[in-house]
Amino acid sequence: MGATEPLVRFKDVRKTYDGDTLVVKNLNLDIGDGEFLTMLGPSGSGKTTSLMMLAGFEVPTHGEILLAGASLKNTPPHKRDIGMVFQNYALFPHMTVAENVAFPLSVRGIGKSEREERAEKALDMVRLGGLGARRPAQLSGGQQQRVALARALVFEPRLVLMDEPLGALDKQLREHMQIEIKHLHDRLGITVVYVTHDQSEALTMSDRVAVFNDGIIQQLDSPRDLYESPNNSFVAQFIGENNILNGTVESLDEGFAGVRLDGGGHVRARAVNVGGVGARTSLSFRPEKVHIEGIGADHENYLPALVEETIYHGDHMRVRAKVDGNEDFTVKMRYRSGREEPKAGDDLFVAFAAEDCLALDPVAPTTTA
Amino acid sequence: MDDGLSLKVKLRRAERMRQWRAFGLIAPMLLFLVVIFVVPIADMLRRSVHDVDLSEVWPRTTQAIGAWTDRTQAPDEPIFAALAQDIRDSQANRTLATAARRLNYDFSGSRSLIFGTARALPEDAPSWKAAVLEANDTWASPEIWAAIDRASGPITAFFLLQALDLERDPMGNLRAAPEDESIYLDVLARTFGVSLSVTLLCLALGFPVAYLLATLPPSKANPLMILVLLPFWTSLLVRTAAWIVLLQDQGLVNGALQWMGIIEHPIRLIFNRAGVLIAMTHVLLPFMILPLYSVMKGIPPVYMRAARSLGAPPTVAFLRIYLPQTLPGIAAGTLLTFIIALGYYITPALIGGAADQMVSYFIAFYTSDTVNWGMASALGTVLLTATLILYTIYNRLIGADQVKLG
């Protein structure tokens, strides 16, 4: 990340398909050599379009993309030397696994024996040694995914793009593959640009995550910063679980704001993204940073809560309560011995530090309903 | 154990009910196929070797001819006596023409020979051999007797041999038919040649169209699809007649070419091979395009993208990734087009010249013009056999599992 020369640079890139609406609005993004960068966002946010422009399958309407300092404008996809893993693997069905993996080498005119040796090595790397003679259709989803990885890595590209590569796998396999891809990245030192709409996947794997929405990068940060210090309500909502309470700023001092909630309560919150006194704001709370207590007096902030429901989750318990008019306020609580568990109908308090309550830009009321 | 046994019995009973029901559902279809497909083909195969025309009207002669041993010369008195008797009987029964027609297939001039002999034959004669030879000395030649022997039935290879331009000499040995009678091998070769040319033309023209149809967005592909299907919805006769109008010397094509200054004099496009190829290609194009289209439709564009991202230039990606995946469509399309082309009749008959007629023309000719069912069936049998042999070779090369019809 600290490298002076980024490997990939998006410079004022815009893209429109119909000439009216911009799918990508003025994208500026530097990707460092060896970095694992994830483009995260809901569908239609412009992340896949950005990836396709980098791969060369879409042409930017405006601006340019530089790879190692050189413009990619007139470089067709096959000359970009960028490995790519597709959503549904795109393994060639009429070739064996080994032929699939050797394909990038054979189109580069590499001799048969070297080709076979390198393909075999690449298959060993993804722990599929010995399966080279099979057809892709004879492999499981996870194995096909590994073949696609081996094929994208075998010609040692500077950059590997992955377009929701784990989308078709079941949860357990997906989590396993996430770790495996991350280890491959660490071991080979390659640069990876990864597209996904799954926020936990983005947090698990990435050095940095670019959160896309509406054609704009909403926030570009490390997973930790993204989760703990979201810049705005969209990021707070999209990454991890989140509770929202709406209110109006009453006072501002040294980075903290006094907020009068719509339900009547008053809290002190970290002012991250608010206008002046009198502006509307949405407060964001992580369910695990809020405590549920019998009395809230010894905390910085506390609000009365009516327990609606409790749900057992094994290692923790979820309490859904009505707080300041929001009926879906969720609190995650660990089991502690010697403490009475809350039950539906209990009148309790939610308590939290001002540090853990972020005052962000107001969201439309419908999203909190 | 008892329980297990009864469970098995129950299972079998339940399965049997299901099987009978399934059979009941396909029974009408099966019956239909048997009646209009299996039975006629079996009958055709039977007729190509079955030959009782002569033995029905000349029972004595066809019976007695078995005693003819020295085939270098005409037979002896008893066989001549049987012949005279048969000729007189069939003259009375008005079946002489049947015998004359059947012998004429094999021995030209039989017709006048038989009718002449019948007229000249006396009421009674001490030696029938002398009397018959007196009536017409052609009867002294072993050739006519060999023809009678070959026609004595009930099983004969005569028609099949003739369909392959072969015949037997009086000694029963195979030999090539005389030059002026051997046309069928040429016709067969021409049939396969024209079908192959039409198939290749359809592939060359149909592949890009199918590709376009499969890759265009539906709003543009659907009107194009209608254009492709239009020939299907038009009567074959109308389309063929339209080609006559287009291709004739004063027709639209020649007119346009002359107007553009490409040619000075009209070029001959009709009543020759060119016309047949143009019209048949047009008619058969949908049979190539549709299987190709259905296969191409199932090839996601992501394969081409993947190939390009892995470093393949567009042509390489097409040849190594796209084309191999269309093979099932190519296999199905070429097979379908070729086999339909083999049986084509109307289009070559109307647009082709005398040298462009295919086997089906001769089959129709023998069926309706000369009522020589044996010959028509034999040609059909040869065509069927040749097609099956070709299909087997094709199957070996491509594999039936590769053929995808839709």
| Average pLDDT value for residue range B98-117 | 85
Q: Provide the pLDDT for residue B9.
A: 86
What Rg value do the Cα atoms of chain A yield, rounded? 25
Dihedral sign computed on CA atoms, order B113, B119, B123, B126: negative
| Average pLDDT value for residue range A139-144 | 91
Nearest-CB residue to A86 (from B302, B324, B327)? B302
pLDDT exceeds 70 at position B4: no
**Mean predicted lDDT score pLDDT of chain B:** 87
Contact B310 A81 (CB under 8 A): no
**Three-class SS state of B167:** strand
Q: Which two tokens stand for residue B278?
A: 């143009």
Q: What are phi and psi of B58, to 5 degrees?
A: -120, 65
Q: Please, which pLDDT band fits residue A367 given cuts at 50, 70 and 90?
A: very low
Contact B300 A77 (CB under 8 A): no
Q: How far apart are CA A57 and CA A65, in angstroms?
A: 13
Q: Please, which pLDDT band fits residue A11 given cuts at 50, 70 and 90?
A: very high
* Predicted interface score ipTM higher than 0.90: no
Q: Give residue-wise pLDDT tens across range A321-363.
A: 999 888 889 999 887 766 678 888 888 888 888 888 999 999 8
Q: Please, which pLDDT band fits residue B264 given cuts at 50, 70 and 90?
A: confident
Q: Are B135 and B121 in contact (CB under 8 A)?
A: yes
Q: How far apart are CA A113 and CA A123, in angstroms?
A: 15
Q: How far apart are CA A115 and CA B61, in angstroms?
A: 80
Distance from CA of A84 to the nearest CA of B (A): 6
Q: DSSP class of residue B319?
A: I
If interface means Cβ-Cβ distance under 8 Å, which residues of chain A face chain B? Answer: 55-57, 76-84, 86-88, 90, 92-94, 103-104, 107-108, 151-152, 155, 161
pLDDT exceeds 50 at position A1: no
Distance from CA of B286 to the nearest CA of A (A): 26
In this structure, of A1-10, B215-224, B264-273, the range with the lowest mean pLDDT score is A1-10
Q: Provide the pLDDT for residue A365.
A: 57
Q: How far apart are CA A256 and CA B252, in angstroms?
A: 87
Q: How far apart are CA B144 and CA B109, in angstroms?
A: 10
Q: What percent of chain B has pLDDT over 90?
A: 35
Q: How far apart are CA B350 and CA A115, in angstroms?
A: 58
| Average pLDDT value for residue range A120-124 | 92
Closest CA to A187 of A124, A140, A110, A106: A124
Please name the residue ranges forming H helices in B48-164: 53-57, 59-64, 77-93, 96-106, 110-120, 128-135, 142-150, 158-163
**Mean predicted lDDT score pLDDT of chain A:** 89
Residue of B nearest to A81 (CA): B311
Q: Provide the pLDDT for residue B180.
A: 78
pLDDT exceeds 80 at position A226: yes
A197-214 burial, b for 16+ CB within 10 Å, e for fewer? Answer: bebebbbbbbbbbbbbbe
Nearest-CB residue to B308 (from A77, A152, A155)? A77
Q: For the whole prediction, is pTM greater than 0.80?
A: no
Q: How far apart are CA B46 and CA A285, in angstroms?
A: 90
Nearest-CB residue to A90 (from B302, B314, B324)? B302
Tell me how far apart the terminal alpha carbons of chain A are, to the nearest angstrom: 40
Instruction: Name the residue type at position B374.
Output: G
| Average pLDDT value for residue range A34-48 | 92
Nearest-CB residue to A78 (from B312, B325, B327)? B312
Contact B312 A84 (CB under 8 A): no
Residue of A nearest to B326 (CA): A94
Contact B310 A88 (CB under 8 A): no
Chain A partners within 8 Å of B314 (Cβ)? 78
In this structure, of A28-42, A46-60, B144-158, the range with the lowest mean pLDDT score is B144-158
| Average pLDDT value for residue range B29-38 | 93
Q: Provide the pLDDT for residue A366.
A: 47
Q: Give residue-wise pLDDT tens across range B77-94.
A: 888 888 888 888 888 888
In this structure, of A40-44, A242-246, B145-149, the range with the lowest mean pLDDT score is B145-149
Q: Are B210 and B229 in contact (CB under 8 A)?
A: no
Q: Give residue-wise pLDDT tens across range A247-277.
A: 999 999 888 999 999 988 889 999 988 888 8
Contact B310 A107 (CB under 8 A): yes
Contact A155 B311 (CB under 8 A): yes
Q: Please, which pLDDT band fits residue A297 given cuts at 50, 70 and 90?
A: low
Other beta carbons within 10 angstroms of residue A8's beta carbon come to 23
Contact A84 B310 (CB under 8 A): yes
Q: Provide the pLDDT for residue B59.
A: 86
- Mutation pick from B310, B401, B404 vs chain A, by most beta carbons of A within 10 Å, is B310
Q: How far apart are CA B12 and CA B15, in angstroms?
A: 5
Q: Are B387 and B341 in contact (CB under 8 A)?
A: no
Q: Provide the pLDDT for residue A2.
A: 46
Chain A partners within 8 Å of B316 (Cβ)? 107
Q: How far apart are CA A354 and CA A338, in angstroms?
A: 28
Q: Give residue-wise pLDDT tens across range B183-201.
A: 899 999 999 999 999 999 9
Distance from CA of A239 to the nearest CA of B (A): 30
pLDDT exceeds 50 at position A368: no
What residues contact residue A355 under an 8 Å CB cut-off, 6+ apart? A270
Q: Give residue-wise pLDDT tens across range B41-72.
A: 999 999 999 888 888 888 888 888 888 887 78
Q: Provide the pLDDT for residue A369.
A: 37
| Average pLDDT value for residue range A228-257 | 90
pLDDT exceeds 80 at position B380: yes
Q: What percent of chain B has pLDDT over 70?
A: 97
pLDDT exceeds 90 at position A62: yes
pLDDT exceeds 90 at position A119: yes
Cis peptide before B154 (omega within 30 of 0): yes
- The 3-state secondary structure of chain A, one letter per residue: CCCCCCCEEEEEEEEECCCCCEEEEEEEEEECCCCEEEEECCCCCCHHHHHHHHHCCCCCCEEEEEECCEECCCCCHHHCCEEEECCCCCCCCCCCHHHHHHHHHHCCCCCHHHHHHHHHHHHHHCCCCCCCCCCHHHCCHHHHHHHHHHHHHCCCCCEEEEECCCCCCCHHHHHHHHHHHHHHHHHHCCEEEEEECCHHHHHHHCCEEEEEECCEEEEEECHHHHHHCCCCHHHHHHCCCCEEEEEEEEEEECCEEEEEECCCCEEEEEECCCCCCCCEEEEEECHHHCEEECCCCCCCEEEEEEEEEEEECCCEEEEEEEECCEEEEEEEEECCCCCCCCCCCCEEEEEECHHHEEEECCCCHHHHC
Other beta carbons within 10 angstroms of residue B77's beta carbon come to 11
What Rg value do the Cα atoms of chain B yield, rounded? 30
Does B308 contact chain A (CB < 8 Å)?
A: yes
Contact B313 A55 (CB under 8 A): no
What residues contact residue B258 under an 8 Å CB cut-off, 6+ apart? B264, B266
Contact A90 B303 (CB under 8 A): yes
Q: Provide the pLDDT for residue B12.
A: 87
Chain B partners within 8 Å of A77 (Cβ)? 305, 308-309
Contact B321 A86 (CB under 8 A): no
Chain B partners within 8 Å of A152 (Cβ)? 309-310
- Mutation pick from B295, B304, B308, B309 vs chain A, by most beta carbons of A within 10 Å, is B309
Chain A partners within 8 Å of B317 (Cβ)? 78
Nearest-CB residue to A92 (from B303, B309, B314)? B303
- Mutation pick from A86, A96, A193 vs chain B, by most beta carbons of B within 10 Å, is A86
**B97 or A192, which is more confident?**
A192
How do beta strands A82-85 and A159-163 pair? parallel
